Amino acid sequence: MSSYFSELDRQYIGGEWRRGGGSWDVIDFDPYDDAKLASITVATVDEVDEAYRAAARAQRAWAATSPYARRAVFERALRLVEEREAAITELIVAELGGTRVKAGFELHLVKEFLRESVHLALRPEGRILPSPADGKENRVYRVPVGVVGVISPFNFPFLLSMKSVAPALALGNGVVLKPHQNTPIAGGTLVAKIFEDAGLPGGLLNVVVTDIAEIGDAFIEHPLPKVISFTGSDKVGRHVGTVCAAHFKRAVLELGGNSALVVLDDADLDYAVDAAVFSRFVHQGQVCMAANRVLVDRSVAEEFTERFVARVAALKVGDPRDPDTVIGPVINSAQAGALSAVVDQALAEGATALLHGSVTGNLVAPSVLTDVPPGSGLLRQEVFGPVVFLVPFDGEEEALRLVNDTPYGLSGAVHTGDVERGVAFARRVDTGMFHVNDGTVHDEPLVPFGGEKNSGLGRLNGETTLEAFTTVKWISVQHGRSGFPF
């Protein structure tokens, strides 16, 4: 077992590792065998306040530091992740139930985002704008917002913490990070340890492991953070956005999805099958961009379905430590129960199970369902696990109607032998991201990431990260004397 569980089982506030002041503990379990990994006493409201105040104090000097000096921290952090990759892999496998393929995928992206943060420190630019007034010079400065609060989820916790924390720090902000209680190490204290060892000044990054049962809305209501970056469900995201609006904070909300992978009549079926299998079943389907629905033109549906079901049936379910395992456990028993309920509901509504996966503890084997009634709410909601709906369609117009018939709009994909046909299709889908002849699960440091409708507000990555974690200030200079009407 990774030593991280015994080393990082505490809060990180003001540059110090310490026990939380709460009266109860967050218990960190291995979702595969329910082994206890760590016990962390929760942080209190007062400790959340301490964390934000520490970040605010440290931020002033950090923002005044040369961006060339700031970027050196991220260069060192990248080297540390590379050096510790084996130990971090073991942590991801144990704490998330992630397979080794999933851990490699997550670590690859973490390193890419750290590389981008090295450059991001130098990215902000000011402007001088013309004025209608004689002798006036308008300077527009891009400056850090000050303090950023980050709330990360359990599915890709190291990545989804790092992709907000690292850019926010690189741009001169202080940060307080609250990881999900199911992944407090990978999503929280590991991030703090990496940056501490990379030489980040104490107090600039703080990690509070706690729960709303202890602190309520104190994390998002606190007066110091100007931006809250939240990744999670649309239900919780709606609440976060509402509280932020009431307190005049900017909310960056990366929420759920109900993506579709569309197979048109001229698609390469073998390739489309490969893309669909990955898009639905990577990390047990616990991915916001995962293809909940696979829509197939009726002219090729029979052939596609036969190949797809055979591929899914061959996926190995079991211990994520086994390098051959493709599908490990879902995060907890509540999630396993919710997935069983989805399959039961679909069958009760008249669906046909081409595969009906068994549930053993937190291991949920894949289910492939078809003939789900068109009006079923199951086709419009996010299903966070290894359950997929196969839906035939007749022509592109029906495919577009089906793709858009959901309150979500995060990602998706279309497969076709004609790239421009695919692009034309993608442009008519109401979604933040869409991919032609590829899978639905993608994230790149330079490309705006985010969704439409219930899938969130705002974007991260690339230039949009500047918008998320900085603000602009207008300073005018009057050369000579200005005239006044009285």
For residue 69, give the H/E element and its range: helix 67-83
- Torsion angle of the four alpha carbons 281, 285, 287, 288, in this order, in degrees rounded to the nearest 10: 110
The CA angle 385-387-392, to the nearest 5 degrees, is 140
Instruction: Give the pLDDT band of residue 55 (cuts 50, 70, 90).
Output: very high
- The two tokens of residue 303 are 């052939």
- Same domain for 140 and 274, yes or no, is no
Catalytic residue check, 254 = yes
- Same domain for 146 and 214, yes or no, is yes
% of residues, the chain, pLDDT over 70: 100
pLDDT score, position 79: 98
From 305, 402, 284, 393, select the one nearest 355 (Cα to Cα): 305
pLDDT of 1 > 70? The answer is no
- Same domain for 230 and 286, yes or no, is no
Average confidence (pLDDT) over 328-346? 97
448 is a domain residue: no
pLDDT tens for 259-276 read 999 999 999 999 999 999
443 is a domain residue: no
Average confidence (pLDDT) over 309-316? 98
- Same domain for 70 and 104, yes or no, is yes
Handedness of CA 292, 296, 301, 307 (dihedral sign): negative
Question: What value does the CA radius of gyration of the chain take, rounded to a whole number of Å?
Answer: 24
- Same domain for 324 and 470, yes or no, is no
pLDDT score, position 319: 97
441 is a domain residue: no
Average confidence (pLDDT) over 150-169? 98
Average confidence (pLDDT) over 155-183? 98
- Same domain for 410 and 460, yes or no, is no
DSSP string, 45-64: HHHHHHHHHHHHHHHHHHHH
pTM exceeds 0.85, yes or no: yes
444 is a domain residue: no
pLDDT score, position 38: 97
Q: SS3 of 43, please? A: coil
Instruction: Give the pLDDT band of residue 256 (cuts 50, 70, 90).
Output: very high
175 is a domain residue: yes
Handedness of CA 152, 155, 161, 167 (dihedral sign): negative
Q: Could you tell me if residue 194 is left (phi over 0), alpha (psi between -120 and 50 degrees) or otherwise beta?
A: alpha
Q: What CA–CA distance (Å, rounded) separates 175 from 163?
A: 12
pLDDT of 60 > 80? The answer is yes
368 is a domain residue: yes
pLDDT tens for 405-423 read 999 999 999 999 999 999 9
Domain count, the chain: 2
pLDDT of 80 > 90? The answer is yes
265 is a domain residue: yes
- Same domain for 242 and 273, yes or no, is no
Instruction: Give the pLDDT band of residue 468 (cuts 50, 70, 90).
Output: very high
Q: Out of 196, 214, 288, 396, which one is annotated catalytic?
A: 288
- Same domain for 16 and 109, yes or no, is yes
The CA angle 66-67-70, to the nearest 5 degrees, is 95
185 is a domain residue: yes
Catalytic residue check, 467 = no
Q: What average pLDDT does the chain have?
A: 97
Average confidence (pLDDT) over 274-279? 98
Domain that holds residue 339: 259-436
DSSP string, 100-130: HHHHHHHHHHHHHHHHHHHHHTT----EEE-
Q: Are 240 and 220 in contact (CB under 8 A)?
A: yes
- Same domain for 293 and 307, yes or no, is yes
What CATH number does the domain containing 319 carry? 3.40.309.10
For residue 438, count other CB atoms closer than 10 A to its CB.
17
What CATH number does the domain containing 57 carry? 3.40.605.10
Q: Out of 47, 254, 382, 396, which one is annotated catalytic?
A: 254
- Same domain for 313 and 192, yes or no, is no
Q: Are 470 and 142 in contact (CB under 8 A)?
A: yes
- Same domain for 314 and 182, yes or no, is no
Q: SS3 of 258, please? A: coil
- Same domain for 363 and 215, yes or no, is no
Q: SS3 of 257, please? A: coil
Instruction: Give the pLDDT band of residue 470 (cuts 50, 70, 90).
Output: very high
What angle, rounded to 10 degrees, do the helices at 157-170 and 85-96 form?
130
% of residues, the chain, pLDDT over 90: 99
